[in-house]
Amino acid sequence: MEESKEEAEAALQKKYSSMVERLNKRHQSRSDNNNESESSSSPAFESTSSFFTRFSNLKSSIESQLTHSHSLSSSDPSQLKPHFEQISASISHLEKLVAENSYFLPSYDVRSSLKTIADLKHTLETLISQLLPKKKFSFKNKAATNKDTTNNNNNNNNNNNTVTPQEPKQPLPLNRDSPGFRNKSGELLVGDFRGSEVGEFTVSDLDSCEVRIIGCVRTLFVHRLKNSRVYVGPVMGSVLIEDVEGCIFAMASHQIRIHAATRSDFYLRVRSRPIIEDSNGVRFAPYCLRYEGIEEDLRGAGLDAETGNWGNVDDFKWLRAVQSPNWSILPENVRVGIVDFNSENGKEEEI
């Protein structure tokens, strides 16, 4: 068993080495075509090489922690919850690593890395369900409700049923140190980054808000949005969207991954095929945003050309040859049309 695992690791490393060599040739070719200096292309290659090593090491560490969960359950069950939180944080870090490096990676490797992350998340959620059953989360609440009336007891029982499934999602990558819009309701939120450099930007926990991000950012994280509209200029790396409902998104990016989205519309310009997981009722249309200077921003981000990939969606949870029922093309007669910021200036909160 150990030899088989070592052989698999060796094969993985061989694949990574081959991929790095191929990427090096690709970047050199781009450098010659664009008359770029060697120094400008070198950091991209170094970043790609570093990604493969770091991803493999982090993945192995997470798998080791997952394997240790059963023995911890027998020896010290009180440590299971912080143990799972640590694993979830490590998975989030791995997901962040893919997002930061996806600009330099081939589409196949990005999809393969995201599939690995999805498998790790599923394993973690399964272990949480097995080793931390619902009774452990609802026991104290049930004891407390003995002092309440029958109606209050019924309400609390309903609350218990909704809290438990959210437990694995608590340590999602919130990126608290990055700029962003968080915990707002019913507001217009504007971020104007023209002429500035922004790495990560986070949009999370919004209800009935409108978000406008003007200019370029490197990576965009979107978590837990309801009934909101998000209009975004060029994203030079990746967009990761999770847990959104009843929303409209307009964004341009090199990689876009959508997880747990329902009843939402996406107006996209994307270099690779958009990826959806655990989503339903999502519709897609071409990018529709305008503001002063957007054409220059799109060129600078390598997103000036329309690839048509907005309509080539990969559903990771639909493996059949026929069209996935979880997504569709948005009919032209119900599209929002061009969203033009040039004629609108209002704002409530600005970064």
Q: What CATH number did the domain enclosing 253 receive? A: 2.160.20.70
Q: What pLDDT, on the 0 to 100 scale, is given for residue 220?
A: 93
Rounded Cα–Cα distance for residues 146 and 143 (Å): 6
Rounded Cα–Cα distance for residues 202 and 182 (Å): 8
pLDDT of 130 > 60? The answer is yes
Q: pLDDT class for 155, splitting at 50, 70, 90?
A: very low
> Does some domain include residue 224?
yes
> Does some domain include residue 319?
yes
Q: What pLDDT, on the 0 to 100 scale, is given for residue 11?
A: 60
Q: What pLDDT, on the 0 to 100 scale, is given for residue 17?
A: 54
Domain span at residue 149 reads: 134-169
Q: What pLDDT, on the 0 to 100 scale, is given for residue 115?
A: 82
Are 217 and 345 members of one domain? yes
Rounded Cα–Cα distance for residues 272 and 253 (Å): 9
> Does some domain include residue 175?
no
Are 194 and 333 members of one domain? yes
Q: What is the mean pLDDT of residues 78-84?
A: 87
Q: What pLDDT, on the 0 to 100 scale, is given for residue 13?
A: 57
The CATH number for 58's domain is 1.20.58
Q: What pLDDT, on the 0 to 100 scale, is given for residue 176?
A: 54
Rounded Cα–Cα distance for residues 315 and 301 (Å): 26
Q: What is the pLDDT of residues 218-256, one digit of tens each?
A: 899 999 999 999 999 999 889 999 999 999 999 999 999
Q: What pLDDT, on the 0 to 100 scale, is given for residue 199?
A: 83
Q: What pLDDT, on the 0 to 100 scale, is given for residue 169?
A: 39
Rounded Cα–Cα distance for residues 228 and 175 (Å): 20
* Total domain count, the chain: 3
In this prediction, what percent of the chain has a pLDDT beyond 90? 36
> Does some domain include residue 47?
yes
Shortest CA distance to 107 belongs to which of 28, 233, 23? 23
Are 191 and 112 members of one domain? no
Are 189 and 77 members of one domain? no
Q: What is the pTM of this model?
A: 0.55
Cα-Cα-Cα-Cα torsion 284, 287, 288, 293, nearest 10 degrees, comes to 160
Q: pLDDT class for 157, splitting at 50, 70, 90?
A: very low
Are 127 and 142 members of one domain? no
Shortest CA distance to 128 belongs to which of 185, 172, 169? 169
Rounded Cα–Cα distance for residues 222 and 200 (Å): 11
Are 150 and 277 members of one domain? no
Are 219 and 346 members of one domain? yes
Q: What pLDDT, on the 0 to 100 scale, is given for residue 44?
A: 41
Q: Which long-range contacts (CB under 8 A, 24 or more apart) does 321-329 make?
A: 325/280, 326/276, 326/279, 326/280, 326/281, 326/282, 327/276, 327/279, 327/282, 327/283, 327/284, 328/282, 328/283, 328/284, 329/283, 329/284, 329/285
Q: What is the mean pLDDT of residues 34-59?
A: 61
Are 313 and 260 members of one domain? yes
Are 147 and 217 members of one domain? no
Q: What is the mean pLDDT of residues 97-101?
A: 76
> Does some domain include residue 174?
no
Are 224 and 335 members of one domain? yes
Q: What is the pLDDT of residues 246-303, one digit of tens each?
A: 999 999 999 999 999 999 999 999 999 999 999 999 999 999 999 999 999 999 889 9
Average pLDDT, rounded, for the chain:
77
> Does some domain include residue 111?
yes
Q: pLDDT class for 129, splitting at 50, 70, 90?
A: confident
Are 198 and 285 members of one domain? yes
Packed helices 2-33 and 38-75: angle between N→C axes, nearest 10 degrees: 160
Rounded Cα–Cα distance for residues 287 and 252 (Å): 7
Q: What pLDDT, on the 0 to 100 scale, is given for residue 33?
A: 47
> Does some domain include residue 211?
yes
> Does some domain include residue 107?
yes
Are 84 and 40 members of one domain? yes
Q: What pLDDT, on the 0 to 100 scale, is given for residue 280?
A: 93
Query: Mean pLDDT lowest for which of 21-25, 188-192, 322-326?
Result: 21-25
Q: Which residue has the tokens 């340590």?
A: 171
Asked whether 285 and 248 are in contact (CB, 8 A), the reply is no
